[in-house]
Chains A and B, each alone.
Chain A
């Protein structure tokens, strides 16, 4: 990146930060400090606003830079990712969004606590939500660090560390002061910027190929050095049965994990009704689907315009494919158009990371204050206001922890961390959520077993996976204690989460035929489907 591009990118990013700070100030005027306001933004966002915010929360820099980079390097195997990320939203739309909106108040645990004995399920759901959030948060912080190193041509670790610290501090300020209202507006602004950037680049790619997709694809295949293999699956995951199983495992985690991500679930509480929650998801499916279709065009476009070798030589993971493509489409290095486009892409990528980090920090601080603190604290003088104060402190604490972990873990592969967060969400949060919404017999013991029975295997299997030990690219490359062959635990840990929930219920000594049990289930069902008594 030349000096011009750098200063322009920093200027644009500065404008974004200033705008978001202004939004935070504006959103926190007339602040009352109620939980309704801090966790749910007052529940008065429109479906369209919330749809943009959901899309903003979901589309991370990993998708914008990472997936299009994967496509530029491995062709079709990158497309497999996009499909998983999109199809996942059908689980959210059909089975989760409306029912969760009707049954809960702020967090996942609210939905469970409506039926189960309060304290154990709240603690279990709180622990798993915070775990998932921290994993996802570390992924984003590591991503922020490598993005800066990449875009500012700065391989020194100092720029990296300062970016991680700077990004972390900024989002803590946003979240602690502005709560859900400010976070939502940041997501909306970011989603608009990201979509705008993607549309502009896609149009330029299509113009370059005169709107001929066929010639785009065949040029990409020719310039990839792989010929027609580039357009078929197998380049990244075709290497033996372990790699194939690993991809299926990742696919399962992606599709089932989205519906268990705490920062996605908490977004449904920002609209007033279940039909509004449904409409937000429809908006976000439209935005996310459109975005991934554009990502595919950009990925193949980068392969066609730049050639796979040029992309790989700039960054081995392909993360620079889109910025380089922007430079070329704008007129090449040194031209004004190229400089501007490159700077825009860089600024959008920064903004993206900042917004995603804010969303996750908010969700995890809600889990800490509303679930863990509320269940574990023995203080008699707890009020809604003091709970919000705890949430603000928790946001600062979680932000600090994420900064620390992000600094320590800066060599980890971002895509792997994201896959792990999705696997943990799919194994620990989704089974318990589906069981308590749809299964009459489900008991407290089943709920607790289901959460820990999914979360513990997911984490343990990763510790014994080839990612942690036993290979040249592992975290501890010197030792070998890997017992589990796959990188992503989803294929094993998701069924275990469901199994544990079933087993806990069957072995439960709770009287499931008692009147109270049936009545609580009836209440959950009536509330879930009609919205009676919804917050």
Chain B
């Protein structure tokens, strides 16, 4: 899927996924309710085939790859960075107490840096998801649901 086209065409609609969500009638409160229990296990084999087919498609594999490629390294990085911070604070208070500027010391700077990296990663993830995943994912959603309907669900 070409990224640039995707961005242009989808921008208007995707900027506010909240509003277009109900247009399809999915999840609306009036939908006949089958919630009593757990979703049924015995579903028609058709649904299984549809999901397997979509799962194997190039578009879905691309979404999956983009998601995992961003999320796994990012999660590993911030967990390590947080762990390093906690371990440093508990085992090396001497280093952490070293003054940097005025009353600010290494510990204070590291703590504020944790806040800063959290905000930064939040922003980066949101941007990545919005530009590189949302549009393709939404298209796949409609495709999958269309295929289900085609199978006379």
Contacts and interface: CB of A to CB of B under 8 A. Distances in A.
Interface of A: 32, 34-37, 42-44, 46-47, 76-77, 79-80, 82-84, 86-87, 89-91, 93-95, 98, 105, 110, 113-114, 118, 122, 213-215, 217-218, 221, 228-229, 231-234, 237-238, 244-245, 247-248, 251-252, 255, 271-276, 278-279, 282, 285-286, 289, 292-293, 374-375, 382-384, 386-387, 516, 518-519, 522-523, 525-527, 529-535
Contacts of B79: 91, 255
Contacts of B108: 76, 79, 217, 231
Nearest to B134: A275
B33 A251 contact: no
Interface in B104-153: 104-105, 107-108, 111, 114-115, 118-119, 121-122, 125-126, 129-130, 133-134, 137-138, 140-141, 144-145, 148
Identify which of A214, A275, A293 gathers the most chain B CB atoms within 10 Å of its CB. Answer: A275
B52 interface: yes
B58 interface: no
Contact of A278 (B14, B111, B121, B126): B126
A234 B89 CA distance: 8
B18 A531 contact: no
A248 B87 contact: yes
Contact of A94 (B36, B71, B87, B134): B71
Contact of A244 (B67, B91, B102): B91
Contacts of B122: 89-90, 93, 282, 285
Given A93-B125, A228-B97, A382-B37, 10 more contacts: A35-B35, A79-B111, A84-B82, A91-B75, A93-B122, A255-B79, A285-B122, A374-B36, A384-B33, A532-B54
B36 A530 contact: no
Contacts of A275: 14, 17-18, 129-130, 134
B89 A233 contact: yes
Nearest to B57: A526
B35 A237 contact: no
Nearest to A83: B114
A87 B118 contact: yes
B1 interface: no
Label chain B's interface by main secondary structure.
helix
Chain B contact-residue range equals 35 or more
Nearest to A243: B90
Given A231-B107, A251-B82, A285-B119, A532 B38 contact: no
A297 B27 CA distance: 44
Given A232-B96, A530-B63, A278 B27 contact: no
A247 B90 contact: yes
B140 A530 contact: yes
Contacts of B129: 98, 275, 278
B64 A525 contact: yes
Contacts of A523: 47-48, 51-52, 55
B68 to A, nearest CB: 8
17 contacts: A35-B33, A42-B29, A89-B122, A110-B38, A217-B108, A232-B97, A233-B93, A238-B90, A251-B86, A278-B129, A374-B37, A384-B36, A519-B48, A526-B51, A530-B63, A530-B137, A533-B148
Contacts of B75: 90-91, 94-95
A165 B119 CA distance: 40
A252 B83 CA distance: 8
A243 to B, nearest CB: 8
